[in-house]
């Protein structure tokens, strides 16, 4: 099991907090990059590898 943390600058954090829909495409890109990295690291192929994710978002000291 791996854990990854994505930290963003205050300006992006403020944008994400004010409009959470903006964050969805960013999370898709980050997840795809991490998934691809792990699959290549294992030496597997995309068709055989199974990955999943749980997203926990904390904005400016609050929990969403």
**pLDDT digits 0-9 by tens, 13-57:** 888 888 888 888 988 898 889 888 888 888 877 777 777 777 777
* 39 in any annotated domain: yes
Query: What CA dihedral angle connects 9, 23, 53 and 34, to 10 degrees?
Result: -60
- For 58, which DSSP code? E
* 4 in any annotated domain: no
Tokens read off for 52: 């999943």
Prediction pTM value:
0.66
Cα 62 to Cα 9, 48, 51, 57: the distances in Å are 16, 38, 28, 9
* 47 in any annotated domain: yes
Q: Residue 29's domain spans which residues?
A: 10-63
* 55 in any annotated domain: yes
* 2 in any annotated domain: no
For 54-63, what is the mean pLDDT? 67
* 28 in any annotated domain: yes
* 15 in any annotated domain: yes
Domain count, the chain: 1
């Amino acid at each position: 099991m791996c854990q990854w943390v994505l930290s963003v600058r205050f300006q992006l954090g403020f944008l994400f907090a004010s409009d959470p829909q903006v964050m969805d495409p960013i999370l898709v890109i980050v997840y795809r990059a991490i998934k691809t990295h792990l699959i290549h690291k294992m030496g597997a192929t995309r068709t055989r590898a199974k990955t999943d994710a749980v997203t926990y978002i904390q904005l400016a000291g609050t929990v969403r």
